[in-house]
Structure 1
Amino acid sequence: MSTRVAVVTGANKGIGFAIVKALCQKFDGVVYLTSRDETRGQQSLSELKQLGLSPEFHQLDVADKDSVKRFADHIEKKHGGIDILINNAGVANGIQIGRPYEENKAIVDINYFSILTIKEYLFPLLRDKARVLNISSDCGHLSNVKNKYWLERLSKKDLTVEIINEFVNWYLESEKNGSFNPEDMVEGGILAAYRVAKVALSAITMVHQKELEARNIVVNSMHPGLVRTDMTTGRGFYSADDAAKTPVYLVLEAPDTLKGAYVWYDGQVIDWYDYNGDYAFKSSTLLD
């Protein structure tokens, strides 16, 4: 029987690091800690080894197709497939409105378009009954969007990749040509790029679930809560180790019937389509 394999992207710190640590303790197989920065990844690897844990490390920049392909080639040659894939790599920008286009584009590339690259190179390696988890955000709930046209299109039960890509590209083009209307998003456009990217990530989770249904592969997304990490400038109501508990539950213990879902940090399944609900991220939580 081939060795089971778990992969966590963006895992050299924060929630990703905590997830790798928990998987090393609970998962019967090889756990890959991946990181864009090789030096930081190796340092994190050493830290876990000092705790008596034995993850593997591989460099992986999810926004670089060549890097993703190299990693896919490595996994295929050494292990033949993937059983657990946690897409955690992400980056946020500041809450000030009017960020440069290049910065907004990078936010979208890393948080959303990277998933399309991962689908191209890593999804073919998913074994039957594999589990995929996309680490989204409360910024990724549909209630972050206020534009009525996009609310209607993104609310379609037959949502497609094409619609999601059109939404993302509409936003990027509006930032590029200066036509972005801050009222199209909650809070007058604060964190617009991050919200757009995470909404798209949550949405494509449901599309990918349908595409992989026949192979009994489970795909979910989740909001990990406001965690004390670099991304939240140290603010947050619980630690990365606590935040890792629900992600690890979802990939190891949750029933197979929990699929294509948007899950809150406490394990509660939230209706992603409920755009009138009070689920959108509030920037005041970073200012308290």
Structure 2
Amino acid sequence: MVEKVAIVTGSNKGLGFAVVKGLCKKFKGKVYLTARNKTRGSEAVKKLNKDNLFPEFHVLDISNIDSVKEFADFIKEKHGGLDVLVNNAAILEWDEIYPSYEVAKRNIDVNYKSLLTIEEYLYPLLRDGARVVNVSSSCGHLSNLKNKEWIDMFLKQDLKVDEVNQFVENYLESVKNGTFDRNNFADGGKHAEHRVSKIAATALTFIQQRKYGRRNISINAVHPGHVKTDMANGGGETDADEAADVILYLILDASPNLKGVFMWHNKKLIDWYDPEGDFYCTGLW
């Protein structure tokens, strides 16, 4: 019998670490804790070992194509495929409320464009019945946008990746050339780069579900709450273990028919296609 495999990106601390911990307790198969830094990743594994939990560790820098390809080759050679993928790794440079072009581009490269690289190299390894969870946030809901042209584009049921990419590039170009308009976003456009990256990531979730759904693969997005992590700059309202619960639910307990949804931290299904909804992020992220 083929051993099942679960992978969590950016999981040496915070929410990703909590997800790995939960999977080690409940998932019947091999669990991979991944991180960019080998030392920090290995230390995270040792910490779990003290609780009699034994994930495997592998270096994975999701923003580096060579690193993703190397990891995919490793998984293919050792396991032949994978069954669970949690795309958790993300960044937010808290002090840059209205970021420079370099900061905005770095956020989008990690939080959104890396998902395209992961799709290219890891999705071909997804086995039938696999479950993918893209960790979004309240910043990833459509209500974060106020620009009607953008909203109308995202409301299209046949939205294409090229259109999402163009949205991202238009935002980055506006930051680069000084034409960025705060009125295009909720909450005065604070951390617009994070809103853009997470909206794009959530929209990509739905596009991917249409693409891979015929293989009985479930691909969903989730807002795990405002988690107490380094990225929340000391803020956050939800403990990482508590926040991990909704992700573990989508992996382990949710119906396999639950596909292409945006789930809130309380396990409620939220209508992502509601631009007037009161779901946009304020204050935190």
Pick the TM interval, shorter chain: over 0.9
Question: Secondary structure, in 3 states, of the residue corresponding to 2:196?
Answer: helix
Q: Equivalents in 1 of 2:83, 2:257: separation in Å?
A: 17
Q: Equivalents in 2 of 1:36, 1:20: separation in Å?
A: 16
Listed as ranges, the matches of 1:135-174 within 5 Å are: 135-174=135-174
Listed as ranges, the matches of 1:26-65 within 5 Å are: 26-65=26-65
Cα–Cα, structure 1 residues 97 and 273, in superposed 2: closer, same or farther, change >3 Å? Answer: same
Q: Equivalents in 1 of 2:126, 2:115: separation in Å?
A: 14
Listed as ranges, the matches of 1:1-288 within 5 Å are: 1-94=1-94, 96-283=96-283, 285=284
Q: Equivalents in 2 of 1:16, 1:98: separation in Å?
A: 27
Cα shift readout 1:248-281 (whole Å, capped 9, x = no counterpart):
0101110012110000001100000101000000
- CA offset at residue 119 of structure 1? 0.3
Which amino acid in 2 is paired with 1:56? E
Which amino acid in 2 is paired with 1:235? G
Cα shift readout 1:34-93 (whole Å, capped 9, x = no counterpart):
001111111101100111011000000000000000100110010010100000000012
Cα shift readout 1:150-200 (whole Å, capped 9, x = no counterpart):
011111111111111111111111111111111111112101000000000
- Range with greater deviation from structure 2 (235-244 or 83-92): 235-244
Q: Equivalents in 1 of 2:28, 2:278: separation in Å?
A: 39
Which amino acid in 2 is paired with 1:187? D
Aligned alpha-carbon RMSD (Å): 1.0
Runs of 4+ in structure 1 off by over 6 angstroms are none
The answer on whether the counterparts of 1:95 and 1:191 sit within 8 Å (CA) in structure 2 is no
Question: Secondary structure, in 3 states, of the residue corresponding to 2:128?
Answer: strand
Q: Equivalents in 1 of 2:76, 2:40: separation in Å?
A: 25
- CA offset at residue 96 of structure 1? 4.4
Question: Secondary structure, in 3 states, of the residue corresponding to 1:267?
Answer: coil
Question: Secondary structure, in 3 states, of the residue corresponding to 1:119?
Answer: helix
- Range with greater deviation from structure 2 (124-133 or 154-163): 154-163
- CA offset at residue 213 of structure 1? 1.0
Question: Secondary structure, in 3 states, of the residue corresponding to 2:107?
Answer: helix
Q: Which TM-score applies when normalising by structure 1?
A: 0.97
Q: Equivalents in 2 of 1:274, 1:251: separation in Å?
A: 26
Cα shift readout 1:3-44 (whole Å, capped 9, x = no counterpart):
100000000000000000000000000000000111111110
Question: Which residues of structure 1 form unaligned runs of 5+?
Answer: none
Question: Which residues of structure 2 form unaligned runs of 5+?
Answer: none
